[in-house]
Structure 1
Amino acid sequence: MNTQTTETQSTFGVWRRRESYLFRLDLWLEERVSLRERRSILREIRDNIKADAAIRGIDTALDSLGSPRALARSFAEDGRGNRPSWNRAIYWFTGLLVLWWTLAFVYTAGMLSALISSGAESAESYFLGLPVSAFNRESGIGIGWEASSAVAYIPLMVMVVAAIIAGRLWRVRIGRR
């Protein structure tokens, strides 16, 4: 066995691989077991990976566990798959929110760029129904959005619906019966 495998591989690299695996396992376990059980399982798996990685290397240690999804299924064989996935809901909501902000900002910055190059003082437009304005005056430049209409809340509603669907949050109600 090559003793340099575990010694020369960066500690950060080993930590990153282990924690990435545990993070994915945690996401799959979230839907299947309670928080207390999940923490216990993750603690045990983390200790086992550390011990196995010290002997055989991180690649072999993680390969021997299989995919995080399959491992999560083995811990929840009692059929309790009716739990909502709060993390997945938060990730979808946040991802769509960042995408929306990015698209709106790029659109508005493009408007401002067109104003600057054309020499016009101000312009107004709509981005997916949201009133957008840009100005280029001697006092300064600026961009703005107006959220006075109900149309402005459509992206927020889409993000909430996506979070509910991705996280299966309706199962909170089913679980209480």
Structure 2
Amino acid sequence: MIVLGYIGNHASDDIAARIGWAAVRAAQKGATWRRVTHVEAVLAGTGRHCAIGSSSLRDGGVRIKPDANLTPANWVAVNVPHWDTEAAIDWFTAHSGEPYDTRGALATVLWFLPHHRGSWFCNEAVAAAHGVIDPHRLTPAAFFALALSQPGARICTAEFFAVDEPGAPRLTLQKGLALA
């Protein structure tokens, strides 16, 4: 399973979103991965065009993007070999459309806020898809560090984006989702 961490500058976002992302980076503990403001699970494919799953405020909650157009400079990829892609596809399919958990995301740094069951923020969804206990307690940076701490996990950004060749074969997800 490949997990992606967004490290881009959010330059295309409006000012309110950029302030929000800056606040996420400022509030996260740990110097190594505090630039990670969003995470995605790669469900099929590699490179710029792959199927990804997460939860996004912008997209209205839990979703699968069957053909995401990724900018390589904005992402760090981690291979977590023992996390099961098929189980993640099943989880995202079962939870698709469930709302984004704004309060839960804030609760990762504001301990007094309660988690909202039945809604998900990005790394909470990706972690839950892999059976992580209490995923709502993790910030994107903490989740990314946890993923890298798994046995055999390694950064694979260069390899992940290097296979983005013209004419690559069309990949299909289970449940009928296809990459364009």
**Do Structure 1 and Structure 2 share a fold, with TM-score over 0.5?**
no
With CA pairs under 8 Å and 6+ residues apart, which has the higher RCO, 1 or 2?
Answer: 2
TM-score bin (small chain): under 0.3
- Structure in which a larger fraction of residues adopt helix: 1
TM-score by length of 2: 0.24
Larger radius of gyration: 1
